[in-house]
Chains A and B, each alone.
Chain A
């Protein structure tokens, strides 16, 4: 079947759609709801084309290719139409960053997405680096929205294991619903409600858990936006390397595509999008391998203690000791989580070097349990996992444990060796049918952990044995005559555990997997493990009196703190510790009432600490609130003062506006928000300013642009401004400084670097201002915006981002009652109707 697409003659296969045919011939047609694993749907309508002899613009994803068709995919009319379609789609997606005039500058200053609770734009979107919508917007040249977008005020759903769902980002392409049905026959999720209230959800408002979700993660994999996210991987960004390997959590041996960043495993998904994998394969692996308590170094027992040592020493010690146990008094016990190559070396070592017949290989049961007992008369044993009851070990004269995690067994050991396992090694493993499958190294092992065959080969050589000079796992497989193996990509039926997560394995090498992987503790099999998260008690003197989410991801918190309220002055901040284990984090004071003894903060949810704070409810108590700290802003009569405020700064600018006005200044307040639904405190600021101007990045309310645009325009028009004060994110403050500089207007910015004590004692908050080093806590927070080294500030603020992302990925699911978004949702809805 031949047809013409964009003047090129192409051949279509039987039953192929125009879109499939075009893509196969490298002719790109924009599309969004289509996905290679799914049948055509025709919902997004971005793939419209012109076909000679057909009226209108048919969607290429649903139109079968036919003999002699003449198709055009890239006319001006089509692009215009698509741009309009995308713009309409973007009306229900936080799209301001897509139409921002300073998008390029912003990307330059902060290329990686910043963490947030609810995402309100690309720069706080976990999907930023791989977003299909962003690519489309760029390709189609989307630069404005026809009417103001709407935000549905849906709560961030994070009560489920492994999956975060932010339906405010959802564009209703339906990929998730369709893949769920495709993978499991019936879908757990569906379109709920109608017209503008349509959203993705479970029938009867059940949770995913109750609705019978299998946590195969297919929905997350196909989502084109950041709406569905893998909680652990969420903020790592795009992997810099991907590799396909075999899953060895059980012998179903599914093919996994693993993604790593700087050698650290961050994602896992099915190679074959057509067949689901189980929760372990999809979600458990990165967290399991990245556990902070992995064995990283060899240990040798000296007296009572296991002493950390170098490999050379450990091997030497081991070789010396093992020489005393040559014969059947020695045993190796391993299970099938070790590769064929590893096991070959274990066996060879046992018989050839130790002259023992006691090579014991356990085949785990359906739960992954590998237990056995040692043969009578065993005096020395090498175990590769937690396989033997502690009582039996007492009789041993020498115990060596080679494993990935410490256990009751390793605690008793004389020598402990850190093993590289699973995605950290190359090798071969058999699946349940005996077919051999490849295991390929996708990430670095922790610390000095090594492949198991390598450890035993080194040991054998140290004991003077010949025949252990292998250089790679491949050399061993070659010697064993294992032919080149293939991944199990095609499979005729869904693996058991992918159909029912309760059928998954519980143990790996004798370790409970759910003790290492937080989300599994919600997905109970048998009463769960003992490692439940300790409930943090909220004790302290500082009670939260009120708390509201006044704009998406922006929380107004009123706290009882009389000592702070008594002395607070404009521009000062407090340091808050939510509980005794929290960080000390500075927040600017937005208001206070000395009489009532209360202070008000506006807090944006970003990382672990602000997350802890905004998840509290009115009535909860904070462990510590210290302040007021910092040098108060100098309040005097300047003439006209322009106040530029963004995000939390809209709150922080309030006391400054009041004080500047009281001092006799003309106060011009400009609040910038990404979109109209992110603006707050309008009435409040209007009331205390001589002139109040709202700008929005997407132009959905009042003036389009940043706050500084208003200031620059006024300066250009010859209006006199004597002082500019900017409070917001570093990007916004940098921008303000850069653009007022040519006009020589005094411009101050309130800096918010990482702090510890906040009283000058530690110097963590150092900033470079001009030629000088300043401490933001005792010299600031206000500095000359024209002199601040903004790049240094950004990098110092990001000093711990890798650690923060790891800790955030392991956070517990949040029970829905902790989320006060529901209340806000109804509030906003009523307001919108009025």
Chain B
């Protein structure tokens, strides 16, 4: 059959040598022609596996069929029936682990590029300016508060506003988007894209209250009892960086990935002195960790002009980052130092980082996570000279809300305990989702939980 002969369409992107020194987005996206060509590869399975792989159940074959017909706007609307943030998900979802992993084509050939097509239709609709408003159900006069304007909160807001509820999103920072804004860098997810998705929600009627810290300005019981909200969704994320607890971690030049990325992405330090927040101008940077955040930090440091090495204690196969991200990082000239673990960080008399001592590791038996446990090799310590260390070994849940609401049940890791069917917490009317529930995970998982929560909240409000 002719269909099989069309290869998976690559997405053109900036050459590594160029993009390593700018903050522009790496891929350019599909053209109309390549999008149609790629869409034509879809087998339109009767029983599409891909949909089951999608945490928010986008009707993938249907939107791809519309792309193939050249009905891009309609395709975008099809995606939006299930997904509040398609332009974001098309860029940052790990599709290779989800929809594309289950694509039947992928058994013998390469799967359909669902993510690239999703991104294409979302961008197409936005650029066309022809954004159709969805139908909004009759007003229910029920009020819902979303705490945090990140992926989970935005999803809940988008779903519930369409169901006719009044939705207010509370955000502590000066910009909406949560991790999409402060965490994921411009070159991977342009802030204008995030802003456009938020603007769409504003058009639907979602209210955003900025500079508002729930837990300080109002507690959740106060939102429910005094401010007249009928339900609350907590999507505050995993906002407390973890450190290694080794000597020298408070030296000048040691950053949490959160701080490093926030300075650059949210505060726009790379545009200093046009923006007031000073950038981190250093020459030799080590990033500790092997996840997506470590890749983002390393690639940001590279763009700020540094020589960057990623130090990871296990082997490449165990790195939790997306393959695409590791590949991009390596392409851009970032070095990987695998099976190495930092022992201490060394400073000068002004508390500035000058070096880091590491120890080599080997892999032992699998641990409880199923990954082979790294074991230090005695006597293999060595010194790396550097001036910046970025610690990207994960985040813990931010304790602010649980602290100000003792009746809320939390796990020993500080995450909020929920009923996974409904995302309801131990307190009736209070729901939670995203990293505050699952620890540090992905954008789309947070959105998936947001969808579940929104559905449950809607049912809860109907009964109330």
Contact = CB atoms under 8 A, between A and B. Distances in A.
7 smallest A-B Cβ distances: which pairs?
Answer: A795-B351, A803-B278, A762-B259, A761-B239, A800-B278, A807-B273, A763-B256
Interface in B247-271: 249-250, 252-253, 255-256, 258-259, 262-263, 266-268
A577 B216 contact: no
22 contacts: A308-B17, A563-B211, A566-B217, A581-B275, A581-B276, A583-B276, A583-B277, A608-B276, A626-B211, A626-B212, A759-B398, A761-B258, A762-B258, A763-B240, A773-B250, A795-B352, A798-B252, A800-B278, A804-B278, A806-B273, A807-B272, A807-B278
B375 interface: no
B44 to A, nearest CB: 38
Contacts of B411: none
A756 interface: yes
Interface string B31-49: 0000000000000000000
A582 B276 CA distance: 5
B213 A796 contact: no
Given A307-B15, A307-B17, A792-B351, A584 B267 contact: yes
Classify the secondary structure of B's interface with A: loop
Most A CB within 10 A of own CB, among B217, B245, B278: B278
B278 A628 contact: no
B184 to A, nearest CB: 15
Nearest to A299: B21
A636 interface: no
B211 A810 contact: no
Interface string A727-765: 000000000000000000000000000001101111110
A759 B267 contact: no
Contacts of A566: 217
Contacts of B255: 763-764
A502 to B, nearest CB: 29
Given A308-B17, A763-B241, A807-B273, A756 B263 contact: yes
A791 interface: yes
B455 to A, nearest CB: 29
A626 B239 CA distance: 17
Contacts of B213: 626-627, 629, 759
A594 interface: no
B243 interface: yes
Interface string A535-565: 0000001000000000000000000000110
Contacts of A577: 174
Contacts of A305: 18
Contact of A759 (B18, B239, B253): B239
A796 B250 contact: yes
B172 interface: yes
A778 B250 contact: no
Contact of B217 (A307, A567, A757, A792): A567
B399 A778 contact: yes
B274 interface: yes
Contacts, number: 135
Contacts of B253: 799
B221 interface: no
A768 B250 contact: yes
Contacts of B173: 757
B400 interface: yes
B327 interface: no
A489 B456 CA distance: 84
B21 A292 contact: no
Interface string A787-822: 001011001101110011011001000000000000
Classify the secondary structure of A's interface with B: mixed
Interface in B18-70: 18, 20-21
A763 B258 contact: yes
A629 B217 CA distance: 9
B343 interface: no
B279 interface: yes
Given A756-B259, A807-B273, A807-B278, A623 B252 contact: no
B210 interface: yes
Nearest to B249: A773
A535 to B, nearest CB: 14
B88 to A, nearest CB: 20
Interface residues on A, range: 35 or more
A789 B347 CA distance: 15
Given A308-B21, A581-B268, A760-B240, 20 more contacts: A302-B17, A302-B18, A309-B17, A563-B211, A563-B217, A581-B275, A582-B276, A583-B267, A584-B267, A626-B211, A626-B212, A756-B259, A756-B277, A763-B243, A773-B243, A792-B351, A795-B350, A795-B351, A803-B278, A807-B272
A580 interface: yes
Contact of B400 (A582, A584, A759): A759
B281 interface: yes
A767 interface: yes
Given A583-B277, A762-B259, A796 B351 contact: yes
B259 A609 contact: no
A624 interface: yes
A644 to B, nearest CB: 26
Interface string A281-309: 00000000000100000000010010111
Given A566-B217, A810-B273, A624 B174 contact: yes
Contacts of B276: 581-583, 608-609, 612, 807
Contact of A763 (B252, B259, B278): B259
Interface string B177-213: 0000010000000000000000000000000001111
Contact of A796 (B17, B252, B262, B278): B252
B209 to A, nearest CB: 9
Contacts of A584: 174, 267, 277
Interface in B74-106: none
Contacts of B216: 567, 627-629
B250 A767 contact: yes
A625 interface: yes
A762 B211 contact: no
A757 B211 contact: no
B212 A563 contact: yes
Contact of A757 (B210, B243, B250, B262): B262
Contacts of B351: 791-792, 795-796
Contact of B15 (A302, A764, A768): A302
A799 B351 CA distance: 9
A564 B212 CA distance: 9
Contacts of B17: 302, 307-309
A581 B398 contact: no
A475 B232 CA distance: 77
B174 A623 contact: yes
Contacts of A627: 213, 216
Contacts of A810: 273
Interface in A577-620: 577, 580-584, 608-609, 612
Contacts of B182: 757, 761
Contacts of A624: 174, 210-211
Interface in A603-662: 608-609, 612, 623-629
A806 B15 CA distance: 33
